[in-house]
Amino acid sequence: MNTHELMTRNAEEVVTAAEGEALAEDPDGKRAYVGYEPSGVLHLGHLLTANKLIDLQEAGFDIVVLLADVHAYLNGKGTFEEIRETAKQMRAQFLAYGLDETDTEFVYGSSYQLEDDYVLDLHTLEVETTLNRAQRAMAEIQSDETPTVSHVVYPLMQALDIEYLDIDLAVGGLDQRKVHMLARDELPSLGYDVRPALHTPILGDLSTGEGKMSSSEGVTISMEDDREAIEEKVNDAYCPPERDPEGDTVNPVLELFQYHVFPRFDRVVVDRPAEYGGDLEYEDFEALADDLESGELHPADAKTALAEYLDRLIEPGRERLATFRSGE
Ligand code: IYR
């Protein structure tokens, strides 16, 4: 796979595609980042963008993970002390998941977002940006129903992060798209360059295949889950034989194979008793999806394999979490 393919595989879009192509020509020393509001336990939502960071790391980018403590505070996620503590746990879980420690820079938002220059630039952006635009940017990020002033400050800070962390490529789920567009439109008014953004898809809910998988509503798999819990959740997942079911639903089992399993394993083996045809082996997602669609691969066997591979991905982070909880 060439650099551009590695950079864009499983991504929904790069804004702009041409800027992305230019970056892929020479990624060495270029900085790509994702910001996360700290939460003590990583779940599949976090890990989707983490997979992209691992791809980018392999493609030669330097990786920056922003532990967005101030953003979490602005978004009503707890007291500042609580947020700082969970950020530490989050860092350990990311490393256990497979980000390379020597090549990944972890930055706390509060380490630079409270400094004079940043705050003054923030106020300039507040003057330049309409309330309406800032609120629209937050539509898919805001955690509380009622918007507060902090919710309109939030996206302006996220835009500034791109400049202050000296980022060449901003990465995030599609839910971050409007913030990145705001950044593209507004950073030049401060004399800063526009930088490209890469967006990963939002996966469908595990049990219904509708809407989006999230930890706040519905079911996700997190580093808190043991093997048994993972098996249970995957067993209950919606898995029609079709790759693309009718209407707005997706096949979440296939999505998990595509976005979580195949990017991290060279091949997937589905164990099957000899009487049912013996083991199946897949080197790419398409082959597995074709077999599910044709009936060669039974949904129950696909689920057993999915649970097994997700468990392997989660195990190291689960152990780190347990160490934290035992107070080490
Ligand atoms: N808005 C993100 C968190 C976040 C991301 C970036 I990239 C920042 O620079 C700051 C915050 C979220 O929804 O989790």
131 in Cβ contact with 152 (< 8 Å) = yes
Q: Cβ(37) to ligand 1 under 6 A?
A: yes
- Domain membership of residue 211 (yes or no) is no
Q: What is the pTM of this model?
A: 0.95
Binding residue ranges:
33, 154, 158, 161, 176, 215
120 & 260 share domain: no
Boundary of a domain, candidates 200, 215, 246: 200
Task: For residue 312, give both structure tokens.
Answer: 């392997």
Whether 115 shows a pLDDT value over 80: the answer reads yes
156 & 30 share domain: yes
Q: What is the pLDDT of residues 183-201, one digit of tens each?
A: 999 999 999 999 999 999 9
- Domain membership of residue 222 (yes or no) is no
Task: For residue 141, give both structure tokens.
Answer: 């990020």
Alpha helices per DSSP H over 236-298? 252-256, 285-294
173 & 280 share domain: no
Complex ipTM over 0.85: yes
77 & 191 share domain: yes
- We report the CATH number of the domain holding residue 124 as 3.40.50.620
Q: Cβ(220) to ligand 1 under 6 A?
A: no
DSSP string, 177-219: HHHHHHHHHHGGGGTPPP--EEEEPPPPPTTTS-S---SSSS-
- The residue with tokens 């991290």 is 264
- Domain membership of residue 207 (yes or no) is no
Boundary of a domain, candidates 200, 235, 253: 200
Query: Distance, CA 233 to ligand 1 centroid (Å)?
Result: 28
152 & 279 share domain: no
Query: Distance, CA 69 to ligand 1 centroid (Å)?
Result: 10
Query: Distance, CA 65 to ligand 1 centroid (Å)?
Result: 10
- Mutate-to-test residue for ligand 1 from 75, 161, 164, 198, highest number of ligand atoms within 8 A of CB: 161
57 & 188 share domain: yes
162 & 13 share domain: yes
27 & 169 share domain: yes
pLDDT for res 143: 87
Q: What proportion of the chain, given as a percentage, has pLDDT over 90?
A: 86
Query: Distance, CA 243 to ligand 1 centroid (Å)?
Result: 31
Q: What is the pLDDT of residues 60-89, one digit of tens each?
A: 999 999 999 999 999 999 999 999 999 999
180 & 297 share domain: no
56 & 134 share domain: yes
Q: What is the pLDDT of residues 240-285, one digit of tens each?
A: 988 888 888 899 999 999 999 999 999 999 999 999 999 999 999 9
Q: How many helices (H) and strands (E) does the chain have?
A: 13, 8
- We report the CATH number of the domain holding residue 248 as 1.10.240.10
3-state secondary structure of 66: strand
Whether 212 shows a pLDDT value over 80: the answer reads no
Whether 125 shows a pLDDT value over 80: the answer reads yes
Could you say which DSSP state residue 278 is in? -
Taking alpha carbons only, the member of 31, 47, 94, 311 closest to residue 203 is 47
Q: Cβ(64) to ligand 1 under 6 A?
A: no
Rounded Cα gap, residues 254 and 297, in angstroms: 12
Domain count, the chain: 2
State which residues form the domain around 99: 3-200
Whether 217 shows a pLDDT value over 80: the answer reads no
